[in-house]
């Protein structure tokens, strides 16, 4: 499988921290999941950006993220320098963010009507982007 993730994620190898040989990354599970996905979704992805066609190869399927790190379904470990292109500025699955989300979700996940938090968010956007 041709793979070029240099601009997105950096494989975290043992050689980055010691003199031991780096781990060889394998992608069998990612390839199997992507193969199935191509039968279920156009191009096998939910967004054209995720198709990896502009960087070559097939998408890597990720299992979990925490802080600045990501693990794919084949248990390869990466450093994430992208942070979801901005939204993960505090890192993935930040404990304080998870707590705030869980507390807020107890009030409901979608009202379909105005709620006070909309005003709070609007104030934050105005403060961050003066016009």
87 domain residue, yes or no: no
- Residue 89, pLDDT score: 87
Tell me, yes or no, whether 19 and 58 share the same domain.
yes
What digits encode the pLDDT tens for the residues 55-83?
Answer: 778 889 999 999 999 999 999 999 999 88
For residues 96-106, average pLDDT: 95
Rounded to the nearest 5 degrees, what angle is found at the Cα of 55, between the Cα atoms of 51 and 56? 75
Is residue 10 within 8 Å of residue 79, measured between CB atoms? yes
123 domain residue, yes or no: yes
Tell me, yes or no, whether 13 and 75 share the same domain.
yes
27 domain residue, yes or no: yes
Res. 3: pLDDT tops 50: no
Antiparallel, parallel or unpaired: β 9-11 and 62-66: unpaired
Rounded to the nearest 5 degrees, what angle is found at the Cα of 29, between the Cα atoms of 51 and 79? 65
Percentage of residues in the chain with pLDDT exceeding 70?
Answer: 82
- Residue 20, pLDDT score: 61
The pTM of this model reads: 0.69
Tell me, yes or no, whether 18 and 74 share the same domain.
yes
* Helix (H) or strand (E) run with residue 78 in it: strand 77-80
Res. 105: pLDDT tops 70: yes
Res. 127: pLDDT tops 90: yes
- Residue 14, pLDDT score: 46
Is residue 58 within 8 Å of residue 4, measured between CB atoms? no
- Residue 23, pLDDT score: 79
Res. 19: pLDDT tops 90: no
Mean pLDDT score across all residues of the chain:
84
Tell me, yes or no, whether 47 and 100 share the same domain.
no
Number of domain units in the chain: 2
121: tokens are: 């968010």
Tell me, yes or no, whether 20 and 75 share the same domain.
yes
60 domain residue, yes or no: yes
The distance of Cα 89 from the centroid of its chain, to the nearest Å, equals 12
Tell me, yes or no, whether 74 and 99 share the same domain.
no
Domain span at residue 43? 9-80
2 domain residue, yes or no: no
Tell me, yes or no, whether 33 and 62 share the same domain.
yes
For residues 95-120, average pLDDT: 93
Is residue 16 within 8 Å of residue 9, measured between CB atoms? no
């Amino acid at each position: 499988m041709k793979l070029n993730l240099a601009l997105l994620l950096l494989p975290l190898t043992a050689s980055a921290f010691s003199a031991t040989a780096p781990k060889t990354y394998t992608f069998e599970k990612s390839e199997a999941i992507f193969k199935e996905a191509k039968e279920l979704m156009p191009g096998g992805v939910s967004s054209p950006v995720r198709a990896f066609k502009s960087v070559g190869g097939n998408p890597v399927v990720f299992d979990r993220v925490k802080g600045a790190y990501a693990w794919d379904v084949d248990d390869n470990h990466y450093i994430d320098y992208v942070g979801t292109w901005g939204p993960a500025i505090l890192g993935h699955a930040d404990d304080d963010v998870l707590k705030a989300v869980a507390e807020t979700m107890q009030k409901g996940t979608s009202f379909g009507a105005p709620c006070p938090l909309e005003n709070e968010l609007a104030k934050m956007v105005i403060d961050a982007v003066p016009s």
